[in-house]
Structure 1
């Protein structure tokens, strides 16, 4: 599994990379079939009140599907944390959906196997 980190109008430091890896570790614990995660960190221009706005985007690829999340905050690290939380929620939802479909299919085939054997 690969994690790619890019920055737009922003230098990616080792601390930033470590923060992204640390926050995404929670997401990786929930689902082990993740193929790759592409993280884009960007800094918007100065706003009216003189503050910068940071955005964190992630594209997560699992077999047959892509998940996309985007979070923004006044500081970089809270944006990364929010992005990781949103991605974790989507991964858990996807995993639950797969488990639910697997249980339904297994039950259907078990009934069929019982009818054939009788």
Structure 2
């Protein structure tokens, strides 16, 4: 998975980059058909925001999270994306199994 990391009003440090890479490895463990991910980290006064857009086969998943701590926002973002990926995987599996039953 190719991760494109961008910062708005924040400098993307090596620590942030490695933290995002480690967290997104969890997503790759569940679903390895992610083509690329675009992650945007931004700061607006007190709020730290993390948002991501994942491109998978035939679909795009989007999630964002806002928290006072940027690392907590990244954790929330990955949790949301993880749930979306599992739901997407289940939809694909159910669609395939219903097509096989219809063919029989």
Give me the TM-score of the superposition, normalised by structure 2: 0.96
SS state at 1:66 partner? strand
* Residue 76 (structure 1) aligned with residue 80 (structure 2): no
Cross-structure match for 1:31: 31
| Structure 1 runs, 4 residues or longer, greater than 6 Å off | none
Distance of 1:10 and 1:83 partners within structure 2: 18
* Residue 90 (structure 1) aligned with residue 90 (structure 2): no
**Pick aligned residue for 2:97 from 70, 87, 103:** 103
* Residue 19 (structure 1) aligned with residue 19 (structure 2): yes
Aligned-pair distance for 1:26?
1.1
How big is the alpha-carbon RMSD for the aligned residues of Structure 1 and Structure 2? 0.8
Aligned-pair distance for 1:32?
1.1
Cross-structure match for 1:49: none
Aligned-pair distance for 1:59?
0.3
Higher strand share: 2
The structure with more radius of gyration: 1
SS state at 1:86 partner? helix
Unaligned runs of 5+ in 2: none
Q: How many aligned residue pairs are there?
A: 104
1:32-65 superposed Cα distances (whole Å, 9 cap, x missing partner): 11110000000002xxxxxx21000000001211
* Residue 55 (structure 1) aligned with residue 49 (structure 2): yes
